[in-house]
Amino acid sequence: MTAGPRYRALVYTTLLLSFLVVVWGGVVRVTGSGLGCPDWPTCYGQFLPSLDAATRIEWLHRFLGVAGGLSLAALVVVTLLAYRRERFALALVLAAGTLYVLQAVLGAVVVLLELPPTWVTVHLANAELVLALLTMLAVGVRWPGSLGARARGAPWTSLLLAGAVGTYVLLLTGAYVRGDDATAACTTWPFCDGGPFPLAGAPAVNMAHRWVAAIVGAVVLAGCWQAWRHRREAPGLGPLALATAALLVLQVLVGAATPLTRFSPWALGAHPALASLVWICVVALTARAWRPSAPSRELVGDLVALTKPAIMSLLLLTALGGMFLAARGVPPFGVLAAVLVGGAAASGGASALNHYFDRDIDDLMRRTRQRPLPSRRVADEWAIGIGVALNVVAFAVLALFTNLLAAALALSGTLFYILVYTLWLKRSTVQNIVVGGAAGAIPPLVGWAAVTGSLELEAWLLFAIVFFWTPAHFWALALLIRDDYARAGVPMLPVVLGEDATAWNILLYALSLIPLSMLLFLGGGLGLLYLVAALALGLFFVGHAVRLLRAAAARRRAVARSIYIYSLFYLALLFVVIMVDSSLRL
């Protein structure tokens, strides 16, 4: 986008005023001046009321908001008159204008409802989106050619995309800490008074924010390092990378100073202000480095496919089973929603990363060569960026709305799935799916921990059921696509030891599910409904395995297909019965 100097000045002025609105909003929160003007849009029914301290602070916030709104209105008009052919720029300006109007409405709601924490957080979230849109426009007018470019970013830029998403999540977790009155819950740094993993109350909320900050900070710094290494590829990359890294380090130091200075006003005010400045820099750096083409409907479908929705739904069902059993009935709605959102994000993120690291194998297999990455319909950096970003979201949601144990378990599941199974076991040993199945068995632990904050025997029995179910389920699939695995050089059991050995192993693991499910009945407090259903489901599974063992070679794959399909029904129905039985006993 080629813009004249006056238009550039208008863009920069609007961005500056919007930034000052957000920064002064932080001052309003820190000083407790949110109700300095208890009515809206006037202040005590006047435009210029008596100016006590709280009223002056809140009035200035509104004045800056009006000034920013007028500047943005002028930007919208000029863009419509002179730059309407620049479609991407026009879209950014119109979106920012719409959100600014919404921001005024949210400000009124916050005041009239007397500062409810949820609405205060939404107010901040919307303001940061306005800053992001104006920052992208500023990048476009500073470096012509940035907006609407069709060139795809290099794989390293996915770190910046993930860092941008993570920074936004981090801003919201900080707002949640303030809204939950958890700012002063930890008086030490880097860990809380009770250690690195307080499991409940305000200390857990405060420490969750710090852990999210640590994860996001590592991702952003890695992205800055890569941007610095590639600084010659685009003007502005080097200075933006240095500024972002320096501000992030300064933000960490101010965050540490907040409890260490006994929550002095300067630290409390500087921390959210610096957070918004870091957000602007991260967005600017990402916009400068990573410029994908506009997403099509087909691309959106491929991005959804990266998250493997079918697998996600089954994993969420097992997490729900753990929650219902832990709660001995229907779990609290807030915890239930957090596990569904966080669990879906963790599962989708792990699957996206798996797509990236398995793209060479997928390219050699008929079953998978049409996936988004091997078919070249989606760039590799999309998978990395989505994978990292979704896991940051998952950790933040679970840590803030359940507890750190559940969040740590979800993150450990992703790490185990990628580092241990995908990159090591899958390519090196016939026992790959046996050990690797532990990753898929973690969701029941997450569900249980989200409700109780601990892990009891029943949770580990749920883990064991999924763990022993996984080889029987996956080896049935491996029998169906044995040739694919042989072509790709993956040492799956049917490839290495043959179909007979695979059939025997499927039978052994199917048999193991019966005593495991009975142990859950004996120790988990479940009733006769579960007992009958679990026994029937287990016997049918064994019956299918016996049919596979006795089947002639010509029919073995057809029987393997029936086992594969039944195994999905087995696990889904077993956990549905757990939920129903728990609810009925309640």
For 202, residues 6+ apart whose C-beta sits below 8 A from its C-beta are 180, 181, 182, 185
Size of the chain, expressed as the number of residues it contains:
586
CB 425 within 8 A of CB 432: yes
Dihedral angle over CA of 395, 397, 403, 407, nearest 10: -20
Distance (Å, whole) CA 548 – CA 581: 32
Distance (Å, whole) CA 522 – CA 533: 14
Neighbours of 293 (CB within 10 A): 12
The SS3 call for residue 46 is strand
The SS3 call for residue 432 is helix
Provide the pLDDT for residue 54: 72
Distance (Å, whole) CA 258 – CA 256: 5
Provide the pLDDT for residue 36: 64
Give the amino acid at 232.
R
Provide the pLDDT for residue 151: 43
Our measurement of the distance from residue 343's CA atom to the centroid of its chain's CA atoms, rounded to an integer in Å, reads: 9
| Tens of pLDDT, residues 106-160 | 877 777 776 677 777 788 888 999 999 999 999 989 887 655 444 445 667 878 8
For 278, residues 6+ apart whose C-beta sits below 8 A from its C-beta are 167, 220, 244, 247, 248, 251
**Which two structure tokens, joined as six digits, stand for 231?**
């600084």
Does this model's pTM top 0.85? no
Give the amino acid at 59.
W
Burial track 157-170 (b if 16+ CB lie within 10 A, e otherwise): bbbbbbbbbbbbbb
HSE-CB at 285 with a 13 A cutoff on CA atoms is 38
Provide the pLDDT for residue 145: 64
Strand partners for 43: 46
Dihedral angle over CA of 93, 95, 101, 102, nearest 10: -160
| Tens of pLDDT, residues 356-381 | 999 999 999 999 999 999 998 888 88
The SS3 call for residue 147 is coil
Distance (Å, whole) CA 222 – CA 215: 11
**Ranges in the chain annotated CATH 1.10.357.140:** 301-585
DSSP per position, 502-532: HHHHHHHHHHHHHHHHHHHHHHS---HHHHH
Greatest Cα-to-Cα distance within the chain, rounded to the nearest angstrom = 92
The secondary element (H helix, E strand) that includes residue 271 is: helix 265-289
Architecture of the domain defined by 301-585: Orthogonal Bundle (1.10)
Residue ranges, the chain, pLDDT below 50:
148-152, 292-294, 586
Contacts of the segment 488-495: beta carbons below 8 A, 24+ positions apart: 488/361, 488/364, 488/365, 489/364, 489/427, 490/361, 490/426, 490/427, 490/432, 491/427, 491/428, 491/429, 491/430, 491/432, 492/430, 492/432, 492/433, 493/430, 493/433
Distance (Å, whole) CA 325 – CA 574: 12
Provide the pLDDT for residue 294: 46
